Amino acid sequence: TRPLRIAPSILSADFSRLGDEVKAIVEGGADYIHVDVMDGHFVPNISFGAPVMKSIRGVTDKVFDVHLMIAPADPYLADFARSGADIITVHAEAGPHLHRSLQAIRALGKKAGVALNPATPVSAIQHVIDDCDLVLIMSVNPGFGGQGFIPESLAKLRQARALIGGRDIDLEVDGGVTADNARAIVDAGANVLVAGSSVYGGNDPKAYAGRIKAIREA
Ligand code: DX5
Ligand code: ZN
C-alpha cells in the first residue's frame, strides 16, 4: 500500500497572509499542498491562478498538488508547470482530449492527475489509466470548500482502487474530508486526503497541527 498523504487545501486559507498560512500547515505536518484553481466557468467560483501559486513556491519544498478546475486546461499547463506545480490534475469532464492533456503534463516533466466529478463513472478513465500518476475522486461538487462528503464516493473509491490495481498511482479524495470519515475513506482505498475546512476552518494557525494529526491518526 502507498503511504498516506494529508494535503490541506489552501482554498480555505486566509489569503491576506497566504505565505504564513502555507508555512503553518507545513510546520503542522502537511505532506502535500493542495492548490485549487477555479475559473468561474468549469465551476461556479473563481479562486486564483498561477501567479498566486508562484508567490508561495518559495515558502516550502513540499509537493504542490495542483487541482485545475478550469476548461480548457491545456493552454495553461505550461504556465502552472513553470510556476511550481509538481502534480497537475485536470478534470476528465474539462475537455474532449483527456489523453492529450495527460501526455502534455508528463511532457512538461510533471506528474499527471485526472479528477472525476461525483456523477462521472470510474470507467471514464479506464483507457487512460496508464497515462496517470494520480486519480482524484471528488467527494463534493467542485467549486467550494466546506461542503458535506457524498457517501457514494466510498463505493467509487473502491472501484477506482480496483482499476488502479498494482500500478504506481496515488488515489486522492477531495471534499468534505474530516477526522470522522478519514478511516472509512482510507479503508475504501484512498491514500491522499485533501482537507480544506477541516484544517483551515477558523484560520487559527495554532490549531492546524492538531487537526492534521487527528486526520492522520483516524
Ligand atoms: C472543492 C475543492 C476542494 C476543497 C475542499 O472544489 O476542490 O479541494 O477546497 O474543501 P473541504 O475540505 O472544505 O471540502
Ligand atoms: Zn481540490
Residue 140's domain is classified under what CATH number? 3.20.20.70
Compute how many other C-beta atoms are within 10 angstroms of the C-beta atom of residue 114: 24
C-alpha cell at 25: 500547515
Q: In angstroms, rounded to a whole number, what is the distance separating the alpha carbons of residues 34 and 9?
A: 4
Distance CA 216, CA 196 (A): 14
Neighbours of ion ligand 2 (CB under 5 A): 36, 67, 174
Binding residues for a divalent metal cation: 34, 36, 67, 174
Peptide bond into 72 cis (omega under 30): yes
Query: How does pLDDT run across 135-192, given as a tens digit for each residue?
Result: 999 999 999 999 999 999 999 999 999 999 999 999 999 999 999 999 999 999 999 9
CB 86 within 8 A of CB 63: yes
Furthest-apart CA atoms within the chain: distance in Å: 45
Q: Give the distance (Å) from ligand 2 centre to CA of residue 48.
A: 13
ipTM exceeds 0.85, yes or no: yes
Q: Which atom of ligand 1 is nearest to the CA of 138?
A: 7
Nearest CA to ligand 1 atom 9: 145
- 174 Cβ closer than 6 Å to some ligand 1 atom: yes
* pTM of the complete model: 0.98
Domain that holds residue 16: 5-217
Quote the pLDDT of residue 190. Answer: 98
What is the Cα 15 distance to its own chain's centre?
18
Examine the residue annotation and report whether 174 is marked as an active-site residue of this protein.
yes
Do residues 171 and 139 make contact, with C-beta atoms less than 8 angstroms apart? Answer: no
Low pLDDT (below 50) residues in the chain = none
Residue 65 is predicted with a pLDDT of: 99
Please state the domain count of the chain. 1
Q: Which of 31, 65, 170, 174 is catalytic?
A: 174
pLDDT of residue 117: 99
pLDDT (0 to 100) of residue 95 = 96
What are the CA-CA distances from residue 168 to residues 131, 165, 171 (Å)? 11, 9, 10
